[in-house]
Structure 1
Amino acid sequence: MTRTILPRSSRFPILPWRKFSSLTGPRSAARAISTATRDPRTKMRTWELDEQHLSKIRVNPTRLIDELHYTCQWGTGQRWGKADSETGMSRLALSDADKLARDWFVDTTKSLGCKISVDAMGNTFAIRPGREDGPPTCAGSHLDTQPSGGRYDGILGILAGVEMLKVLSENRVETAFPVGVVNWTNEEGARFPISMVSSGVWAGEIPLDRAHGLKEVGGGSHTMKSELERIGYLGSLPASYEAMPLAAHFELHIEQGPILETEKQKIGIVKGVQAYRWYTVEVDGQEAHTGTTPFNSRADALLAAARMICTSHTAAADHGALASTGILTLSPGSVNTIPGKVTFSLDIRAPTDHILDKLEEHLKSDFDFIVSTESTHGLGLAVSWQTDSVSPAIHFHDDCISTVRASANAILGDDKLSREMVSGAGHDSVYASRRCPTSMIFVPSRNGISHNPKEYTSPEDCAIGADVLLQSVLRYDRLRFARKV
């Protein structure tokens, strides 16, 4: 495949995040270990390190942020501030911009001694060998973004994983088993309308043919398979946990909510993910002239849909759940014609599957009632549901949760600066958790904003999260070795 990587001379100039270069003092203890307390030619074996020395292996925070903003040249989105880095992102899955970011990921990790594997969904695995053979312990996330997204959702997790590989390489750290980074395809579901679709195929939960046949939103003719072929990422490896097993999966992610910032805490130890379901709801009515059709002779599909959307919000609140509509399509789309057909998306979420069962039942009953009351003089309305995605509530693996907790305590030195959390959003870790031990690490989001160009996490918090990710992978590797022997 052809790769275009911009020269380093095109990197961003010195920007405000450089003020955090002071963090390279205590946080660059890994270099201090390699130069001051040991022969730099000697390998550091994770299973031989005591707690004190293991805890000192840290990321380079300046390099982490520098590289994150460097990769955001591919798919730069809406500007919200004056600094070069104060833009959002619009890097849709399998776009030309996504290809360039993928190429950077492949070339960078390959230069660090990783073996690169690309599967039939374009999931890209960069695996660094360990002393022993076996499935890798991986950091994973995604490089694709929302159409009007930010610089941190998914991107931070991948860049922190790459930084982890750099730290291990420059400090000659030998892990007991392979470790690596995986970039999952189309996590957002923004271009091809199933979120986390490629990790779902890998987990055996979504059929490959269904995923390959997904058409891009907005009426385009491109499918996932055709775009994977076009950009050169339709891999020969089967998209399967059997063909590419993982020993564990850790994902660093921004919180996408306000809790950590409000509570002045630095790390969320994610225990699981709440349940959610996506639907497409279609309302059929009767097109008619707006000026000649009295109210009592109308079958207004849009009016009925509007009542349904409002009802979904009220019902969700009553059940202790959430409901949102993000896509609304109507026809014929004329100012002076009553809409005859409307489709809208419906996203419902709750802490348990049982709550969603009750909410779905409630909404279907309410929507049928709305249709019956809006139908007049034989001009019937009809409503139909299509289930697009179902993600049950997930509890992550206790070993991984404990590993993240220990790593957060080692980095922060104060357990009051972290908290256990349940994720309100879906992530690739949902599907990964069905096939391997998994947990997540959250860092604060300024004002709780995400899926927005103004999405922001401070350089310091990014570095803390990346340190916890690095430590979690190393601690899990050490745990695997201890159990082996």
Structure 2
Amino acid sequence: MTVPGTAGSVGGSLSGAGSPAPTLRHGPEGGGDTSPAPRNEGPQLSFQGMWKELAPIGRHPGSGGYRRYAWTAADGDCRVWFRAQAEARGLGYEVDRNGNQWAWLGDPLGDDAVVTGSHLDSVPDGGAFDGPLGVVSSFAAFDELRRRGAEFTRPFAITNFGDEEGARFGLACVGSRLAAGQLTVEKAHQLRDGDGITLPQAMEAAGYDPETIGPDPERLARIGAFVELHVEQGRSLDLTGDPVGIASAIWPHGRWRFDFRGEANHAGTTRLVDRRDPMLTYAETVLAARREAQLTGALATFGKIAVEPNGVNAIPSLVRGWLDSRAADQDTLDAVVAGIERAAREHAERAGIDLDVVRESFTPVVEFQHALRDELGKILTGRGGDDAGRAVPVLGTGAGHDAGILSASVPTAMLFVRNPTGISHSPAEHAAEDDCVAGVIALADVLEGLACS
């Protein structure tokens, strides 16, 4: 099939700072402000135009970071933007039963489809690149293939998976987990945000039917390859001097909730020796997490905390802390989490604190399919230009992705774009425009090799 239409929209700087937000309508059927029919231009202008349009959405004026939480107004604007990009290119648009968005070239019911994309939601005050770089690059790569006159021989789609970061409901990759059957409908219906709003309530408020959610094996069975481009969340490529790399594996990782229960009391009248203060035990556990991570070569982070009654002059009755831990292999991850829990229980027992530990989510090690990974390596090593014959680096990552969730059901692979600082999940997250364009071209080369004659 010949790629229809013409290439992406023009203009703008990479940052998008100071750009007015596009006029958009919320909801699954909102038409939004579609950009002009894309013109036949190179990948840099295609990328720039979309980046400028997307950049203001959900950006907090104080922090400069993004607050694009699942099923909120900012998320709705991102979804309308996605639909506008699909329709401007003549692609078929649909939303699946779990709220994931799809832009199709060819028959969505056909077999052996090649799919690319990522997510548009963010962590609290997250950076601009984590997720959106993959979605924008997917449309820009499609524009590049259209500019080349490439003819697709397999069905092709670009996707935006919902609620990848888990910022609102505490579970990462909800959209892809539901599709892959790794999150049951019952557990999904029990997910609540900090205001007590359930996932079904949030979906319904955004105009989606929560009664349809659940496994989508028929859809996944029709996908022959899924390739996700993502900004690197580390500095490996910066150290090797490469703009683009290929993922080898995702470390096993999970989230654990530690509930420390003590006794609420007056901060100004209760003697230190009479206190059952769970904050002290929590603090000891945070320090223990750092020690255990250093000993095992793993990563362990307490990055979220909730306190009751949360008064300046009150000793807490409950301190709830969430542990994120990751390691290169399962044995190491098990060892670091066990060490942290053991230390927490020892401190809790000495202080008269009750402790409950609940594993809220877990993803085992993901080894991306070697055949697909090797195929990407051949495509990118064999292309022309200044990098002809240069092997593309292959690197592992401690960050979770939708590609990792889907890997149990679909052949998946990932491309990383250089991050010169290694900073991620922060407004300081960054990738140079030249590297972003290099990522677009690399993705276009990969898609052409996989899906075109």
TM class by shorter-chain length?
0.7 to 0.9
Residue deviations 1:351-400 (CA, integer Å, cap 9, x gap): 111111222222222211111222xxxxx311111111001011001122
Match of 1:280 among 236, 246, 257: 257
The equivalent of 2:20 in structure 1 is none
Match of 2:216 among 222, 237, 240: 240
What secondary structure sits across from 1:318 in the alignment? helix
2:231 maps to 1:254: yes
Match of 2:202 among 224, 227, 233: 227
Match of 1:459 among 419, 422, 433: 433
- Offset, 1:97: 1.7
Distance of aligned partners of 1:132 and 1:177 in 2 relative to their CA distance in 1, 3 Å threshold? farther
Distance of aligned partners of 1:187 and 1:415 in 2 relative to their CA distance in 1, 3 Å threshold? farther
The equivalent of 2:29 in structure 1 is none
Identity %: 27
Q: Measure, in 2, the Cα distance between the counterparts of 1:126 and 1:237.
A: 19
- Offset, 1:69: 2.1
Query: Structure 1: 5+ residue runs without aligned partners?
Result: 1-7, 19-56, 81-86, 375-379
Residue deviations 1:9-66 (CA, integer Å, cap 9, x gap): xx99754789xxxxxxxxxxxxxxxxxxxxxxxxxxxxxxxxxxxxxx9961122122
Q: After TM superposition, list the pairs within 5 Å mapping 1:310-349 onto structure 2.
A: 310-349=287-326
Q: After TM superposition, list the pairs within 5 Å mapping 1:179-258 onto structure 2.
A: 179-216=156-193, 218=194, 220-234=195-209, 239-245=215-221, 246-258=223-235
Q: Measure, in 2, the Cα distance between the counterparts of 1:291 and 1:367.
A: 27
Q: Report the AA paired with residue 475 of structure 1.
A: G
Q: Measure, in 2, the Cα distance between the counterparts of 1:439 and 1:136.
A: 14
Question: Is this contact kept in 1: 2:105–2:157, CA < 8 A?
Answer: yes
- Offset, 1:429: 0.7
Question: Is this contact kept in 2: 1:141–1:154, CA < 8 A?
Answer: yes
Distance of aligned partners of 1:335 and 1:107 in 2 relative to their CA distance in 1, 3 Å threshold? closer
- Structure with more helix by fraction: 1
The equivalent of 1:23 in structure 2 is none
Match of 2:408 among 434, 459, 472: 434
The equivalent of 2:28 in structure 1 is none
Q: How many residues align?
A: 419
Distance of aligned partners of 1:294 and 1:251 in 2 relative to their CA distance in 1, 3 Å threshold? same
The equivalent of 1:65 in structure 2 is 48
Q: Report the AA paired with residue 221 of structure 1.
A: G
2:377 maps to 1:401: no
The equivalent of 1:382 in structure 2 is 354
Q: After TM superposition, list the pairs within 5 Å mapping 1:134-149 onto structure 2.
A: 134-149=111-126
Match of 2:420 among 418, 442, 446: 446
Question: Is this contact kept in 2: 1:139–1:181, CA < 8 A?
Answer: yes
Q: Measure, in 2, the Cα distance between the counterparts of 1:67 and 1:350.
A: 36
- Offset, 1:119: 1.8
Q: Measure, in 2, the Cα distance between the counterparts of 1:320 and 1:177.
A: 43
Larger gyration radius, structure 1 or structure 2: 1
Q: Report the AA paired with residue 377 of structure 2.
A: R
2:442 maps to 1:468: yes
- Offset, 1:414: 4.9
* More off after superposition, 65-74 vs 383-392: 65-74
2:144 maps to 1:161: no
What secondary structure sits across from 1:325 in the alignment? strand
Match of 1:418 among 388, 392, 396: 392
Question: Is this contact kept in 1: 2:112–2:155, CA < 8 A?
Answer: yes
TM-score, length basis structure 2: 0.86
Distance of aligned partners of 1:79 and 1:372 in 2 relative to their CA distance in 1, 3 Å threshold? closer
2:350 maps to 1:367: no
* More off after superposition, 223-232 vs 309-318: 223-232
Q: Measure, in 1, the Cα distance between the counterparts of 2:347 and 2:108.
A: 64
Residue deviations 1:222-275 (CA, integer Å, cap 9, x gap): 322222223234486865132443211101000021221233221121011001
Residue deviations 1:269-323 (CA, integer Å, cap 9, x gap): 1011001110110001112223333322221100011001110110121111010
Residue deviations 1:392-414 (CA, integer Å, cap 9, x gap): 01100112211221233226625
- Offset, 1:460: 0.8
Question: Is this contact kept in 2: 1:268–1:442, CA < 8 A?
Answer: yes
Query: Structure 2: 5+ residue runs without aligned partners?
Result: 1-7, 17-39
